[in-house]
Structure 1
Amino acid sequence: MTNPLDRWLTRSLYLSVGFNAMGTLAMTLPQVFYPILGIPVPEHPVYQAVAVLTIALFGLGYLLQARAEQRDRTFLLIAALGKIGFFAIFLVSWLVGSVPWTAPLVTSGDLIFALLFIAWLWATRTVKE
């Protein structure tokens, strides 16, 4: 993978690893970081554990994709949809007044990464005749 498009995706994936590491840390310490998002700390720790596991596993996926010789388009599509969905949850929650404006702002990085992944998927698609 030596062309500029692949180098650009590799950098985006490595940045996503760091972004997800920060998200994992934030979800691991909800008493510290949840107030920034304006969301309550879950009553039962299993919800928090599921969120931490999901974010950490996607971070691992980004790391593996950044190091891979060949990109897994299915993973990148799921990753983009997941990042859009994560951002959308906080955006809609803000629009209905459930969380402060800082929630979609903090999660806007997910939207940016989703758009980068989608741009790569679009630019590298193959047209079947």
Structure 2
Amino acid sequence: MNWERLMRWALWTSVPANFAVAGLFLCPGSATGLLAGLPQPPPHPLYGSMLALMVAAFGVAYAWLARHDAISRAFVAFATAGKFLAFLIALVLWLGGELSGRFALLMSGDLLFAAVFTAWLLDSRGRAR
């Protein structure tokens, strides 16, 4: 398998995914936010705005990383942890009845990205030495 090609695809795919989720956090009370199953009523706009900023910033970082010849293993390791923990938070909140299944299912995309990032890290480990 060509892990390098898959990794670049995953990075580029993460860009619009992160922007879409940032939009949901920015407007949780919108029709799309309701359809995604975000908790209602929305919290103070400060929380959604700050969270949207962070998620969008990661989207920009994924695009920046995908454009470079050498992909930073350190950043991918950091991103892997972030993607996995975002999924884990959604899972725990869903299991506790604090989050809709629709949004938890949406966040399973982060688990998929974390798996691809992990596979790339394991495959590129030998080349990094």
Q: 1:109 to 1:128 in 2, by over 3 A?
A: closer
Cα deviations by residue, 1:68-113 (Å, 9 ceiling, x for unpaired): 1111111111111111111111110111111222121011111100
Q: What percent of counterpart residues are identical?
A: 33
Superposition deviation, residue 26 in structure 1: 1.2
Query: Which residue of structure 2 aligns with residue 13 of structure 1?
Result: 11
Q: 1:54 to 1:128 in 2, by over 3 A?
A: closer
1:101 and 1:37 map into 2 onto residues whose CA distance is 7
2:47 and 2:14 map into 1 onto residues whose CA distance is 23
Q: 1:95 to 1:73 in 2, by over 3 A?
A: same
Superposition deviation, residue 127 in structure 1: 8.6
1:110 and 1:20 map into 2 onto residues whose CA distance is 10
Higher alpha-carbon deviation: 59-68 or 44-53 = 44-53
2:128 and 2:121 map into 1 onto residues whose CA distance is 15
Q: 1:100 to 1:127 in 2, by over 3 A?
A: same
| Alignment TM-score, normalising by the size of structure 1 | 0.88
Query: Which residue of structure 1 aligns with residue 72 of structure 2?
Result: 72
Superposition deviation, residue 116 in structure 1: 0.4
1:108-119 equivalences under 5 Å are 108-119=108-119
| Alignment TM-score, normalising by the size of structure 2 | 0.88
Report the aligned-residue RMSD: 2.0
Name structure 1 gaps, 5 residues minimum. none
Query: Which residue of structure 1 aligns with residue 22 of structure 2?
Result: 24
